Amino acid sequence: MGAVPDSAVAELRAALSADAVVHARGEAGYAEEAAGYNAASKIDTDFVIGIATEEDAVAVVRFAAAYRLPITIGATGHGQYRPLHEGVYLRTHRMRKLEIDKAAKTFTVGAGQRWFQVLPAIREAGLLAVTGSSPSVGIIGLTMGGGVGPLSRKLGIVADRILAYRVVTADGDLKVVTADSYPDLFQALKGGKVGLGLVTEATFQAEEMEHVYGGGLFFVGDAIAPVWHAWADWTKTLPVEATTSANIVRFPPVGVPELFAGRTVLHIRFAYVDPDASDEEMAAKGAALIEPIRAAGEVYHDTLGLLAADELGAIHLDPDGPLPMAVAGQGLVDIDHEFVDTLLSFAGDGKDVAFVATEVRHWGHGGAIEEAGVNTVNSIGGARAPYHLLTIATPVEELFAEAFPASRDAVYSALAKWFGPETNYNWAGSPDDEKWRTLWSPETAARLEATRAKYDPEHLFTTGH
């Protein structure tokens, strides 16, 4: 990194739009601009810069390139696990463009948009966006890792919905990136995650739909084990219209609805979606399909029903944050009854494990996630794994240094025989070198390295590797 003269910082400030901010380390406002969803993230970069326009984006990338300041991008901070010690932490949360083309069934969002900020307007246009599980996640950040969500076995990964990106590459050039204009970069952006450029906006294909059938069933106590076992068998029989996951949540005694306070709960998430079916048909087929899970144990709480296109967050009920977060994830080749028993021996009711959530998502046995893992139009990793394991640390930061790694190591080594060769980046936390090698297939990883080297030869955009 080169020394940055005060005059260059002053010039940058003068060049940026009125809403943009530039904070050098130690200046007032730095911590507020650096803060995000993961309250445990450690940001100590030379600058935190918040941009508001594409012109700002170009100016900051050129400034950083001129002084060899590595850039790490942050929209919401949902994915910010790696401590940052140098360069620019570039915040995009002010970039709130939203354009909806009802006739073309498309919408365009700026880099700072989160799902909950855009879904009501998309629904009002009669459209449904394919999203991830949490409405508070940043739209672009999610798609940079591919983006598998609660409707994905039928409607695909979120990145595959993107028709065009606008991207500032390391040379400071603003590019319109489509399958025709820059096919290599277009493919890389759909799951390649890091080291490619700064996306300023993207245009997505939506579905013309008002509702899906979905929500969750909750189980406690003695019902947890039989339902978990039934879920493992049931997933192998599901049509592609159904996407589901199972999550054991250990709720704290305070700060959550009384129904859940202090309890360990198995939350089965479920969605049934079919753009060709009526709402009544979806509701009837979805309800019939989940009957074996309902029958496997006494239902403690039930939120299943028709959900409007802007209520998809009700399927997973992820916390809105900010929270201290530490996560670990792993693609699985299969799950069986031995897997379930092993998982429950660590994370079941009454067990002592440092995870607030222990989750398995079902991705395989046909459907669009599996297809996304083998097609050649994107760069998503881990999508060939029929299941994905995700563990989230108890939101007590003091436990992150020892208790969470200890729990993770114990659980992950006990489950190792079900592990597949790949994991998706969006669930990888802060991947170390060993994990990094599992984020894509060897062919995709090699192609991504070539694309990163072509568009960012000086490694301006950080990868952490």
Ligand X SMILES: Cc1cc2nc3c(=O)[nH]c(=O)nc-3n(C[C@H](O)[C@H](O)[C@H](O)COP(=O)(O)OP(=O)(O)OC[C@H]3O[C@@H](n4cnc5c(N)ncnc54)[C@H](O)[C@@H]3O)c2cc1C
Residues that bind ligand X (CB under 6 A): 36-37, 72-80, 92, 111, 132-134, 137-138, 140-142, 144-145, 147-149, 193-194, 198-199, 318, 426
Could you tell me the maximum CA-CA distance found in the chain, to the nearest angstrom?
70
**Residue 188 or 343: which CB sits closer to ligand X?**
188
Q: How far is the CB of 426 from ligand X (least distance, A)?
A: 4
Using the structure block, give the residue that is written with the tokens 């009526």.
Answer: 278
Alpha-carbon gap, residue 100 to 103, rounded angstroms? 9
Q: How far is the CB of 144 from ligand X (least distance, A)?
A: 4
Q: How far is the CB of 278 from ligand X (least distance, A)?
A: 27
Long-range contacts of 290-293 (CB under 8 A, 24+ apart): 290/217, 292/230, 292/234, 293/217, 293/227, 293/230, 293/231, 293/234, 293/268
**Residue 145 or 331: which CB sits closer to ligand X?**
145
Using the structure block, give the residue that is written with the tokens 């709130």.
Answer: 96
CB 235 within 8 A of CB 385: no
**Residue 140 or 224: which CB sits closer to ligand X?**
140
Name the residue type at position 312. L
Q: How far is the CB of 169 from ligand X (least distance, A)?
A: 11
**Residue 225 or 312: which CB sits closer to ligand X?**
312
Helix ranges (DSSP H) in 27-135: 30-34, 54-66, 115-124
Q: Which of 364, 379, 396 is nearest to 448 (CA)?
A: 379
Q: Which of 293, 287, 288 is nearest to 266 (CA)?
A: 293
> What are the backbone angles phi and psi of residue 146, rounded to the nearest 5°?
110, -65
Instruction: Name 426's Cβ contacts closer than 8 Å, sequence gap at least 6.
Output: 79, 132, 142, 145, 146, 147, 148, 193, 329
**Residue 150 or 297: which CB sits closer to ligand X?**
150
CB 251 within 8 A of CB 265: yes
Q: How far is the CB of 320 from ligand X (least distance, A)?
A: 8
Q: How far is the CB of 74 from ligand X (least distance, A)?
A: 4
Instruction: Name 96's Cβ contacts closer than 8 Å, sequence gap at least 6.
Output: 110, 112, 113, 117
**Residue 132 or 215: which CB sits closer to ligand X?**
132
Q: How far is the CB of 228 from ligand X (least distance, A)?
A: 21
**Residue 223 or 425: which CB sits closer to ligand X?**
425
Q: How far is the CB of 51 from ligand X (least distance, A)?
A: 10
Alpha-carbon gap, residue 419 to 203, rounded angstroms? 35
**Residue 306 or 323: which CB sits closer to ligand X?**
323
DSSP tag of 323: B
**Residue 143 or 264: which CB sits closer to ligand X?**
143
Q: How far is the CB of 222 from ligand X (least distance, A)?
A: 29
